[in-house]
Amino acid sequence: MINTRMYTGLSFPTFVVGSLPRPQWVRDVIEDRKAGRLDRAAAAELLDDAVPSAIRLQERANLDYISDGEWRRESYVKIFTDYVDGFAVDAIQIPDSILAYPAVVSKIVPHDPIALDEARFLRDYTGKRILVAVPSVYTIGRRMWHPDHSRKAYPTREAFMEDCIPVVRQAVLALKDLGVDAIQLDDPWLALLVDPAYRAQEGITDPEAEMDLCVRTVNAVVDGIEDVFISVHLCHAHFNRRHSTVGSYHLIMEALGRMHVQRIAMELATPVAGGVDALKNFPANMILGLGVIDHCDPHVETPAEVVQRVERAMEYVPADRISLNPDCGFSPSSVNPMDLDEAYLKLAAMSHGAQLLREKYG
């Protein structure tokens, strides 16, 4: 059985999910790079100066696993298009939102492994364990295939996903070979299935088929890859402190047990996730990445509140299979208006809570 001490030497290890809020000037660099007002080399030089601040923030918060804050990315999923050709920029407009997404418009062609340059910089800049996130195939397919733009290249969403599998798999292999300690597949679109309103909006009439598709693509990416710790992250998606969906994870819990990964990181601190009772069916062969920080709530949790949330989860999952993380990245999109100081205080409280748990439970 996997237990947390096997991969950290600590009980209740602490993880980030990935992103931190960007300072305005970093957001401006990303937007200027996107608009062509700043070439990619000049933007990279500026971001090389910025990213160490995100790393040091997490080190000061005393986290066990850290990221680079994803400060180089426009978003957690759009990063795919930074390393893969075949997309039209911002072709998919989101109703009642400032957000827009790329649409696949031709057969995709990767030119570099996803996030490898980010990971190399992070590895060389910290002595901490590092986590690097890449988008899941299922989420890429749900977000960036559109019937009005994509059918000439890929007649179906599923056909697009098939071509994404080897690209994401190559990214995981390259990150493993670099020595990344933990790789995270971001898969919020699986969690969105729990909301009937979302399913109706997307025209999803067979959620079981969608879950099977998600599981199959995750396993196609990771099967046979050893000696690296792989997580899948789930959430209800958010922007400007508002979630996109609501609902308990009961519907998808069986599907999670069929994924060939070591850890499932779940958004559970927020009330929209429906409470920890869904964990009564949490897969017995996996580590729980327990969301103990509500990133959408401006209230900064106390260490005691972190402990209380973990102890509630321990009614369903044993302590040696629990790790701690925020519900989600604080700013999966660079334009998400979140507060960096607030994020630091929340992460520090999570680390303090983990220490209290170690003292109490060994």
- Summarised one tens digit per residue, pLDDT across range 48-107 is 999 999 999 999 999 999 999 999 999 999 999 999 999 999 999 988 788 899 999 999
Domain 5-361 listed as CATH 3.40.50.10320: no
What are the phi and psi torsion angles at 265 (to 5°)?
A: -95, 120
User: Model confidence over 168-178: pLDDT tens digits?
Assistant: 999 999 999 99
pLDDT attached to residue 325: 98
Q: What percentage of the chain exceeds 90 in pLDDT?
A: 92
The pair of structure tokens assigned to 220 is 């196609």
pLDDT attached to residue 284: 95
How much is the average pLDDT of 307-323?
Answer: 97
Q: Which residues are 182's β-sheet partners?
A: 131, 229
pLDDT attached to residue 1: 53
| Residue 128 clears pLDDT 80, i.e. is over it | yes
Q: What angle do CA 335, 338, 343 make, to 5 degrees?
A: 135
The pTM of this model reads 0.96
- The Cβ of residue 83 has, within 10 Å, a number of other Cβ atoms equal to 18
User: Model confidence over 192-224: pLDDT tens digits?
Assistant: 999 999 999 999 999 999 999 999 999 999 999
Residues 6 or more apart whose CB falls under 8 angstroms from that of 180 comprise 119, 123, 130, 131, 132, 228
Residue listed under structure tokens 């998600």: 214
- Give the separation between CA 361 and CA 73, rounded to whole angstroms: 38
* Confidence tier at 229 by pLDDT (50, 70, 90): very high
- The Cβ of residue 230 has, within 10 Å, a number of other Cβ atoms equal to 20
Average pLDDT over all residues of the chain: 96
Q: Which of 122-126, 225-229, 311-315 has the lowest mean pLDDT?
A: 225-229
